[in-house]
Structure 1
Amino acid sequence: MSQTVDRALSILPLLAEGPANLEQVAVRLGVHKSTALRLLRTLHEHGIVYRQPDQRYRLGARLFALAQQAVENLDVRDIAHPHLVALNEACGHTVHLAVYEENEVLYIDKVESRYPVRMYSRIGKPVAITVAAVAKLLLADLSEPERRAVAEKLDYPLYTSRSTPNAAAFLAELAKVREQGWATDLGGHEESINCIGAPIRGADGRVVAAMSVSAPNVVVTADELLTLLPMVRRTADAISREYSGTAIPRP
């Protein structure tokens, strides 16, 4: 039975490359045509593959429907939380998880610092979108026209002397973040708080969430916090792999 399942599953990546006829499937699996036909018929009955009028087989609509349903039911917070806790235990600083929804970037998880100086942030609260590292990561993944449209609608409050002053500066920052694959907020929202972040990607490579590590400079300097960037990126990559069920290459 396990061999039959293995062979049936091996058909899917073949058909993902494009339609294939019975002989091509049999050759790829290394089985007789009758065995390949039996497997294809079973998959066809369940809508996983579809037989075209030219007698070639392709992936069926049912497979895509199941995949979409699975993605919609994934909760990135549930998957990410153990990784965020592990990162917090390793570095001791506040860890956040955020998503972009309805033109806002919202915190959906937070693991508190072990240090007595705590950050004022809470789950469900929108972030300062023009300066926060997680916001930069999420907006940087938008297409260029989408980034420009968002940037031109935003206000640019000067929280500190390091705040993003206008749309042009924000777009330049997003382009930089998009290229390097990570982001910072070094005193842009609060003079005394620094933050570094990395993106979490789905199976298609798009950013589905962003995570960050934040700390006050009375606990750790900005330069010291930046030394944690490899650890933060490894954590984000681990969450991405688990969320997507595959290895996600960095763009």
Structure 2
Amino acid sequence: MTTESGPAEPQLSALMKGLKVLEAVPAHHRISDIASETGLSVSTVHRILSDLVENRWVEQDQERAYRPGRRVQGLLSLLQNDEQLVRMAMPELQALRDRVGFTVHMARFAHNELSYVAKIDGPAAYQMRSRVGDTIPLWSTAIGKAILAALDEQTSRDLLKAAQLKRRTRSTIMSKSLLWNQVELIRRRGWAVDDEENELHIRCVGVALQDASGRVIGGLSTSALDHEMTPATIERVAPLVMETGARINKLLGRESQRR
């Protein structure tokens, strides 16, 4: 059986059909060409493109040709920024890992979401389950709580008010008033702790990262098993994490001046 564009369409979910069309747009700008490239019918491609245009993933130029839209361009820009951030910060992250002997993470904060962009495992035999690309909570991670403390008070309050807290472990803080008390403490001392709140038996110390304008762009942390990251160890490690964060912030300022 055939459709108006030729052979029967592949059995794909609506999401995968949309992604195939979006993937084809940079090289193929007409509906018929996109249909031929993806193996989808002209009518299906037209319907998907209409949705993508409406949501700014695709746009049409004056000649009615389809091009990647602003949201795609914004996503590419964000990925490029992440690559630049990681490349610039990597020597500092490696130096911190060597000094503390634990796993080091860096995360990007954008559109009120937090995700890992770098991870350097510590020298221990075990490895953290975390992966680059993972989205992590603001409320149960050291980086997340440090970011809440670094944001202006009204933004922090608004984020906390809108939050739907989910229990990650038995130690996850489920009271917004208690979380706010922690945010105020972190704001005074400059660093945050995740005390098995996001993953059992893992403790982390984290700080926020800011660009030259003072905008919060992410954070970094060091993590270890609870028997290694003792209260005494936290007191030793926290200043080192803060120093690393300050050096990366200074590098961000220099990068901004070059632009």
The two structures share one fold, judged by TM-score above 0.5: yes
Structure 1 residue aligned with 2:105, among 67, 92, 96?
Answer: 96
1:170 aligns with 2:166: no
State how far apart, in whole Å, the 2-side matches of 1:219 and 1:198 are.
20
Residue 87 of structure 1 is matched in structure 2 by: 96
TM-score by length of 1: 0.64
Instruction: Give the drift of 1:166.
Output: 2.4
1:207 aligns with 2:210: no
Instruction: Give the drift of 1:118.
Output: 1.4
State how far apart, in whole Å, the 1-side matches of 2:155 and 2:205 are.
24
State how far apart, in whole Å, the 1-side matches of 2:216 and 2:189 are.
14
Please say if residues 94 and 214 of structure 1, whose CA atoms lie closer than 8 Å, have aligned partners that are also in contact.
yes
Of 223-232 and 78-87, more deviation after overlay is shown by 223-232
Residue 166 of structure 2 is matched in structure 1 by: 157
Instruction: Give the drift of 1:139.
Output: 2.2
State how far apart, in whole Å, the 2-side matches of 1:207 and 1:129 are.
13
Please say if residues 147 and 207 of structure 2, whose CA atoms lie closer than 8 Å, have aligned partners that are also in contact.
no
State how far apart, in whole Å, the 2-side matches of 1:172 and 1:132 are.
15
Q: Which runs of 5+ in 2 are unaligned?
A: 1-79
Secondary structure of the residue aligned to 1:129 is: coil
Please say if residues 114 and 218 of structure 2, whose CA atoms lie closer than 8 Å, have aligned partners that are also in contact.
no
User: Over the residues paired in the alignment, what is the CA RMSD in angstroms?
Assistant: 2.2
State how far apart, in whole Å, the 2-side matches of 1:147 and 1:129 are.
10
Paired residues, number: 176
State how far apart, in whole Å, the 1-side matches of 2:246 and 2:197 are.
26
1:125 aligns with 2:134: yes
Q: Percent identity?
A: 27
TM-score by length of 2: 0.62
Please say if residues 149 and 184 of structure 2, whose CA atoms lie closer than 8 Å, have aligned partners that are also in contact.
yes
Label 1:90 to 1:193 Cα distance change in 2 as closer, same or farther (>3 A): same
Instruction: Give the drift of 1:73.
Output: 6.0
Q: Which runs of 5+ in 1 are unaligned?
A: 1-71, 247-251
Please say if residues 117 and 216 of structure 1, whose CA atoms lie closer than 8 Å, have aligned partners that are also in contact.
no
Residue 199 of structure 2 is matched in structure 1 by: 190
TM superposition outliers: structure 1 runs of 4+ over 6 Å: none
The one-letter amino acid paired with 1:118 is: Q
Secondary structure of the residue aligned to 1:106 is: strand
Of 132-141 and 152-161, more deviation after overlay is shown by 152-161
1:20-169 superposed matches below 5 A: 75-169=84-178
Residue 46 of structure 2 is matched in structure 1 by: none
State how far apart, in whole Å, the 1-side matches of 2:90 and 2:210 are.
15
Please say if residues 109 and 216 of structure 2, whose CA atoms lie closer than 8 Å, have aligned partners that are also in contact.
no
